Each structure stands twice: as C-alpha cells, then as structure tokens.
C-alpha cells in the first residue's frame, strides 16, 4: 500500500535509510540486464542511477553507447569506463533508465529532485523504452509538491509571480544556464497542472512526467522487485 503523505515526508530512521539504499540497488540491478551489446542507452541522474552505473560497469558489454542526463552522471559514468556520447550524435535511444521522486497509482511521476528533469524528459522522449527504477518509498497515493521547475533567468521575477506559489531553489544554474525552482501548490490533476506549467512563458520544463513517457517502472521493496506497466509501448 502507498504510504500517506505524512509518512512519506517523515525523515527516515537509520535502519529505514539502509533498507531504502538496499531497495534502490535492487531496482537498479533488476534494470541493468536490459542493456544489451550494441545498444544506445540514456542514463538518468541520482542515487538510484548511481547503483545502475555500478551494475553496468560490472558487466562485460560491448559497443554500448550512453547518453548522460547531467554532468554528475557523465563524470561518474566516464570514471567507471562507460562510453558517453552526445544525444545529438546518437539520436534515437534503444533504452533509457532513470529514477523518480514520486510515483502515483496512474503512473505519473515527479522527477527533478536532482534538478536534471529537463534533460531527463528529453532523453525519456528519445528512448524507445523508458524504464524507471525506484525504491518502494517513492510510491505515493497522490502526487504532492514540490514540482521541480527549470526556468529562464530572463524575467524570472515575473515568471515566479505567474507561478505563485513557487520559489527558487538554492542550487547552481542548470547545465543549460537556467534557474531551478519548485512549484509549491497543490497537484490535484497532474495533466492539468502539467499543461498549465508548460504553457507558462519562462518555464523551460517541469518535473511532471506523464504515464505515456514511461514503458515500465521497477519498484523494489521488502517483497522484491515489482514491475508496473507504463503507457509507452516498446518502439
Ligand atoms: C534527478 C531525478 C532523480 O531521478 C530523482 O530525484 C530520484 O533521485 P534518487 O534516485 O537519488 O532518489 O529526477 O533530477
């Protein structure tokens, strides 16, 4: 059963944190065998993806070309010996694998806790299969704020006023030179909110990912790894 919001927000105890790390690793290790020789693969960003990178580096794969969604993933991947290329160079990807901050019962996601949601959404769109890996505490009964935003520096005050309640996050600019902020209002209807955020001038991208972007979701918990189907059929 999905935790309620109060449980989801509470800081995990040390033993819960240790279980969460075990589950992140399990989800990542369940996804790693999907990568096969010769594939073009998108790599997400975050601590769950960090386990994926380790699992991929441990395999003897040939001619796999990767695209990274953030400088941090690019650096970690290169240090592990994975071949990182530009997205323009590879074009269509066979597969992309990424984490998530929240997963609702319909398969909507909130992403961007690591501020990489713009590049992550582009990579998800370019991938024939987009697979999400997550520990079970990311499953919620309903999405809730914050919804990460990437916004243009030009006119930022006016953009934030149009998005009230929203606030800038105290993090560096995105690799594409934009500000990172969070929308703090209610997320009652994710599709409607998604359309409104996308239609607000100054918003480069938001962290709501629709189910049709996702092929499937691997959720690891105490009972093992559950696979949920998304709305994107294999290309
Ligand atoms: C980064 C993301 C991450 O996938 C999301 O924040 C989950 O991170 P983690 O695996 O560290 O819990 O969207 O922009």
Q: Could you write out the DSSP letters of every residue in 63-94?
A: S-EEEESSHHHHHHHHHTT--EE-HHHH-SEE
Going by pLDDT thresholds of 50, 70 and 90, the confidence category of residue 1 is: very low
- What is the atom index within ligand 1 of the atom nearest the CA of 113? 6
Q: Could you tell me the pTM of the whole model?
A: 0.95
Instruction: Determine the pLDDT at residue 9.
Output: 64
Residues in the chain, overall count: 235
Residue where the block lists tokens 């961007």: 112
| Residue of 69, 96, 110, 113 best suited for mutating to test ligand 1, as the one with most atoms within 8 Å of CB | 113
Tokens of 23: 């589950």
Q: Quickly list DSSP for 29-69.
A: HHHGGG--TT-EEEE--SHHHHHHHHHHHTS---S-EEEES
> What are the tens digits of pLDDT across the range 89-109?
999 999 999 999 999 999 999
- What is the atom index within ligand 1 of the atom nearest the CA of 133? 10
Nearest-CA residue for atom 8 of ligand 1: 46
Domain boundaries, the chain: 14-136+207-223, 147-205
pLDDT above 90: residue 70: yes
Residue where the block lists tokens 């929203």: 166
pLDDT above 90: residue 8: no
Is 147-205 in the same CATH topology as 14-136+207-223? Answer: no
Residues 6+ apart with CB under 8 A from 110: 100, 101, 102, 143, 147, 148, 187, 207, 208, 209
144 Cβ closer than 6 Å to some ligand 1 atom: no
Is the CB of residue 123 less than 8 Å from the CB of residue 181?
A: no
> What are the tens digits of pLDDT across the range 9-44?
678 899 889 999 999 999 999 999 999 999 999 999
CATH 3.30.70.260 for domain 147-205: yes
DSSP H or E segment with residue 228 = strand 224-229
114 Cβ closer than 6 Å to some ligand 1 atom: yes
> What are the tens digits of pLDDT across the range 177-226?
999 999 999 999 999 999 999 999 999 999 999 999 999 999 999 999 99
CATH of span 14-136+207-223: 3.40.50.1360
Does the annotation mark 74 as catalytic?
no
> What are the tens digits of pLDDT across the range 72-94?
999 999 999 999 999 999 999 99
CA distance 54 to 36: 16
């Amino acid at each position: 059963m999905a935790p309620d919001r109060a449980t989801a927000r509470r800081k995990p105890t040390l033993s819960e944190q240790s279980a969460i790390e075990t589950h992140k690793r399990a989800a990542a290790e369940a996804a790693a065998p999907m990568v096969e020789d010769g594939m073009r693969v998108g790599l997400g960003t975050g601590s769950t993806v960090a386990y994926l990178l380790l699992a991929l580096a441990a395999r003897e794969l040939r001619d796999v070309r990767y695209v990274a969604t953030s400088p941090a993933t690019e650096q970690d991947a290169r240090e592990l010996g994975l071949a990182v290329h530009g997205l323009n160079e590879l074009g269509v990807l066979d597969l992309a694998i990424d984490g998530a901050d929240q997963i609702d019962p319909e398969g909507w996601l909130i992403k961007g806790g690591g501020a990489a949601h713009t590049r992550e959404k582009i990579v998800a769109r370019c991938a024939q299969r987009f697979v999400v890996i997550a520990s079970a505490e990311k499953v919620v009964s309903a999405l809730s704020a914050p919804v990460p935003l990437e916004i243009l520096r030009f006119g930022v005050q006016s953009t934030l006023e149009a998005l009230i309640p929203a606030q800038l996050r105290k993090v560096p600019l995105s690799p594409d030179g934009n500000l990172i902020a969070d929308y703090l209002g209610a997320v009652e209807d994710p599709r409607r909110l998604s359309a409104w955020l996308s239609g607000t001038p100054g918003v480069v991208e938001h962290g709501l990912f629709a189910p049709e972007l996702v092929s499937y979701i691997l959720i690891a918990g105490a009972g093992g790894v559950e696979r949920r189907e998304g709305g994107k059929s294999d290309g």
